[in-house]
Amino acid sequence: MDRFYSKKDAMLTIEALTKERAGKDPLHLARLYKDQQALDNVGIVHDKDDQVWRLSRGPEDGGIDEVVFMVMGAIAWVDLPPVYRDIGYARENTLPQPGSDHYKPWKRHVQKRHREHERGEKQGRERLLAGAAGGLEARPISRKSEQEDGVPLMEDIDPNGVLARLAGVNLIHTEDNVVKYFRGMLDGKKKRYIPARPQVFRLGDIVEAQCLVVFVKSKGGGVKMKLILRALALVNCEHAMVSHQNTQREERHTELWNRTRSENERKAQHEGYGHGTQKVKCKVSFEYSDEDEKEEQPMCKCRDDDEQGNTGANGQEMED
């Protein structure tokens, strides 16, 4: 996001959309502090393959479904090829930690459910870390386990096969890494979602995301809560478009200003070489014969102040 992006206006839009969505979806993260009954039938299941604990509902002997929550936010950054970090930590796109007041209480209720679950487990050194949930992110590949089979990467995500080559044999793209993309549409007065390509999303776009809540072990024997992105829907791109238009306008003005300044410098340099001033003639004394010795020989007068041709460099400054 650049300096033209109005975070204040974007936050107001997110607040309004959150209030609207939370009234309809019982699993909206902004609603959990009002309606705690949404977590009544939710338990925690240990996934031994991935060494994570997942919020889910259903009997433990089968038919368990992961609980999918809803959250609203703006895309903060994208970290796909070129890759600037270890490939195992590459992220498709990220929503920052929800900063709205609507989202502040939901962590306490999820942490409470985690503590209740610990009562039925063997007590150990594990503890839930403060500031448990950071941003909402999607990772296209993860560590490979012995019993896991991968699925092909979407062409839209990895068009040139860069991620597949970087993954090697220790990393894999699984169903848990798949993110589905949608675009919100108005069909008359009804709102619906249609599939979209990930390329339509831009930094600053306001999106509605579906996510999972998982607990993973961290260094020091703690447990960290994370949000895993499963689906992303574009619902508002006005703020990002205004920012992009203002950036383009500034770039055009900067280009015009640099071009005008460059032309003025060339003109000033051209006029500096004697234009509009009296020329000084210099006669070489060897051109005269002995008969002309009595005539006064003119002297070759040179400028001491280096007035001639003393102009600045014609360099063009590029501004960011």
pLDDT digits (tens, 9 = 90+) for 118-177: 444 443 433 333 333 346 767 777 777 666 677 777 777 777 777 777 777 778 887 778
The whole-number average pLDDT for the span 81-98 is 52
Q: Return d(Cα 11, Cα 233) in angstroms, integer.
A: 17
CB contact burial 166-175 (16+ within 10 A = b; e otherwise): bbeeebbbbe
Q: Which of 111, 59, 89 is nearest to 215 (CA)?
A: 111
Tokens of 88: 């195992």
Alpha carbon 172 to its chain's center:
24
Q: Is beta strand 43-47 parallel, antiparallel or unpaired with respect to 52-57?
A: antiparallel
Q: Would you call the peptide bond into 82 cis, given omega within 30 degrees of 0 as the criterion?
A: yes
Q: Which of 191, 205, 269 is nearest to 237 (CA)?
A: 205
- What is the residue-averaged pLDDT of the chain? 66
Q: What is the pTM of this model?
A: 0.56
- Residue 38, amino acid: A
Per-residue pLDDT reduced to its tens digit, 235-255: 887 766 665 555 666 666 677
